[in-house]
Amino acid sequence: MADELVRAAYSTRAAEYTSLLGSVEDMHELDRERIERWAQGIDGQVIDIGCGPGHWTNFLHQRGVKVHGIDLVPEFIDSARERFPGVPFQVASFRDLDVPAGSLHGVLAWYSLIHVRPNEMPAVLSKIAGALAPGGRLLIGFFQGGSAEPFEHAITTAHYWPVEQMRQMLSETGFNVLNVEARQDSGKRPHAAIVATMQ
């Protein structure tokens, strides 16, 4: 049910979202640097989960990463395939990753888990963990907050996450947290990112 609500909300505004946020050039320079640095040295298959209109997937592809993007929203995938024809995209949910266990070397979850309810997050992280090979890398970007509380996102309800709570959940799921970034940009919600590897 959660997937259906998110899909419907984004489907109705996919063109608007892509116009406003569908270009890497419109993203923060520090985010571009972090994602590029995270991907360096990954030798194997990477999935950009919740890839939206595909700009980060293409960003990684241009840097030689073996990446494909998945998203719930058909309109996003149609747009991504049209704009980035050399990159593989698929309509799919990160709740049901259709890959062999331990087959991935990287998962990018850049603001794609923000609509996951707190009681569902451990199961989602476990699904990602099961798909990653030992040493596989995960990068999560999310809205930082003092508690895992909902807020009215421009598209549909999203959640803040305390960095320490997210770090603890990752550790409990079998990840080794390597580093954490947090910042507050003027006029923006607080941002956080965590890099972790599968033990």
Asked if residue 123 lies in contact with residue 79, where contact means CB atoms within 8 angstroms, the answer is: no
% of residues, the chain, pLDDT over 90: 77
Mean pLDDT for all residues in the chain: 94
Helix, coil or strand: residue 46: strand
What pTM does this model have?
0.94
pLDDT at 92: 96
CA distance 157 to 171: 26
CA distance 159 to 140: 14
Give mean pLDDT, residues 68-79.
96
pLDDT at 13: 87
Convert the pLDDT of each residue in 144-165 to its tens digit: 999 898 988 878 889 999 999 9
pLDDT band at 1 (very low <50, low <70, confident <90, very high): low
pLDDT at 163: 96
Give mean pLDDT, residues 81-97.
95
Convert the pLDDT of each residue in 15-54 to its tens digit: 888 888 788 998 999 999 999 999 998 999 999 999 999 9
pLDDT at 22: 80
CATH number of 2-198: 3.40.50.150
Q: Which residue is listed with tokens 């603001």?
A: 111
Domain boundaries, the chain: 2-198
DSSP 132: E
Distance set, CA 126 to CA 105, 109, 129, 155, 188 (Å)? 15, 14, 5, 26, 30
- In 128-185 the beta strands, taken as DSSP E runs, fall at 132-143, 150-151, 158-159, 175-183
Give mean pLDDT, residues 96-105.
94
The answer to whether residue 12 scores a pLDDT higher than 70 is yes
pLDDT at 17: 81
Helix, coil or strand: residue 35: helix
- Of the candidates 91, 107, 118, the one whose C-alpha atom is nearest the C-alpha of residue 11 is 91
